[in-house]
Amino acid sequence: MAKDSMTARERWQAVLTGQKPDRVPLNYRATSEFTDSMLRLLGCDLDGMYERLHIDRVVGASGDYVGPPTPADTDVFGCRYAYVDYGTGRYHECVYGPLAQYSTLAEIEANYTWPDPDWWDYSEVAARVKGWDDQPVSAGGSEPFLTYCHLRGQQQAYMDLIESPDMVHFCLGKLYDLCYTNTQRIYEQIPGRVTFTSVSEDMGTQESLLFSPGQIREFFLPHMKRMMDLVHQGGGYTMTHSDGAVRAIIPELIDLGMDVLDPVQWRCRGMERVGLKRDFGDRIVFHGAMDNQYTLAFGSEEEIRQEVRDNIRILGAGGGFILGPCHNIQPVTAPELVVAMYDEAYISGRM
């Protein structure tokens, strides 16, 4: 088998700039329970797992929180979390939002203190990436409506879009401003070193958009464009994560400056791979595409290997594809099957 002729950083960079890499880059995301089972199977540590599975490891860079102390299981926004067991795995879910108690924007303005960007120290950001010259770097980013859902409670947050749009505009403005400044300060610490930044909002269900196009244009797109402009000014690329059936909004996201679409849930309505590649493949990179809803969770080894080959053949034609799971790999998935997935991708993904 031919050896790699590019580093992980070079491979990602080739894909992002429209060039052909030596092979399709491979990314990884999984629950901690699944990763533990993978490490037991392979008999190695995390570094060994990345090497064995040929994963093009992404390095994260962030500031250090130095602001007011927060209680256990509580974030800087005052949201409280607890582990919820779903039978095959557990997630750290928000169980209390400090803005849920308020009915008006005036109450929020009078009673709630927003986190200050100065609550983070960025002096160690450069140290985070030192020694990782061969790896792509991900840093900064935004997904404020998710935070807003935690602050208000998910049901109330969606109702606010119709009943209290002024509240949504105000709060999202505060949240996006924090994300913008955080991202800007990281880029200042490591100029030219950030490969990509996630500028995201979950906008899709299994069948259609989660919001009306008008709501997306009103509440999200102007902020997302500002974030994307910042990333591009700093020499980075933008990855937009949105689960589900988001085909209807893809052209507008591209016009904003989206460089990478994640995670390509191709079993959702309108997200067929051939159509996505045909209509948008000359303008964006596709990231993910290994289905978690059926294939990785319940498929056979041959089904998984075939999906790898199909994804590379369709989405990777001519470049423009980074393979990985559509979501965190869940504990219901056998680690042996994921080994097969990455082995197949390593073999079949050579350009």
Q: Specify the pLDDT at position 248.
A: 98
Mean pLDDT over all residues of the chain?
97
Classify residue 130 as exposed, middle or buried by CB count within 10 Å of its CB (0-12, 13-18, 19+).
exposed
> Do the domain assignments include residue 290?
yes
Q: Specify the pLDDT at position 217.
A: 98
Q: Specify the pLDDT at position 323.
A: 98
Q: Specify the pLDDT at position 90.
A: 83
The predicted model gives 199-217 an average pLDDT of: 97
> Do the domain assignments include residue 86?
no
pLDDT in tens, 213-245: 999 999 999 999 999 999 999 999 999 999 999
Smallest CA-to-CA distance from 252 within 211, 288, 290, 289 is with 211
The predicted model gives 66-80 an average pLDDT of: 97
> Do the domain assignments include residue 150?
no
Residue 2 has pLDDT above 90, yes or no: no
Residue 16 has pLDDT above 80, yes or no: yes
pLDDT in tens, 157-183: 999 999 999 999 999 999 999 999 999
The predicted model gives 23-36 an average pLDDT of: 96
The angle at the Cα of 45, spanning 42 to 48, to the nearest 5 degrees, equals: 70
Q: Hey, what amino acid is at 183?
A: T
The predicted model gives 3-21 an average pLDDT of: 97
Asked if 260 and 239 count as a contact pair (C-beta separation under 8 A), the reply is yes
Residue 187 has pLDDT above 70, yes or no: yes
> Do the domain assignments include residue 13?
yes
pLDDT in tens, 280-300: 999 999 999 999 999 999 999
> Do the domain assignments include residue 281?
yes
The token duo for 142 is: 């935004």
Q: Specify the pLDDT at position 103.
A: 97
> Do the domain assignments include residue 212?
no
> Do the domain assignments include residue 331?
yes
> Do the domain assignments include residue 299?
yes
Asked if 231 and 199 count as a contact pair (C-beta separation under 8 A), the reply is yes
**SS3 annotation, 25-93:** CECCCECHHHHHHHHHHHCCCHHHHHHHCCCCCCEEECCEECCCCCCCCECCCCCEEEEEECCCCEEEE
The predicted model gives 259-274 an average pLDDT of: 98
Number of domain units in the chain: 1
Asked if 139 and 190 count as a contact pair (C-beta separation under 8 A), the reply is yes
What whole-number distance in Å separates Cα of residue 111 and Cα of residue 317? 54
Residue 88 has pLDDT above 80, yes or no: no
pLDDT category at 1 given cuts 50, 70, 90 is low
The predicted model gives 307-313 an average pLDDT of: 98
pLDDT category at 87 given cuts 50, 70, 90 is confident
Considering the chain, what percentage of its residues have pLDDT values greater than 90? 97
Summary count for the chain: helices (H), strands (E): 15, 11
The predicted model gives 319-323 an average pLDDT of: 97
The predicted model gives 44-66 an average pLDDT of: 98
pTM of model > 0.95: yes
Residues 6+ apart with CB under 8 A from 87: none
Q: Which domain holds residue 335?
A: 1-58+256-351
The token duo for 216 is: 């997306």
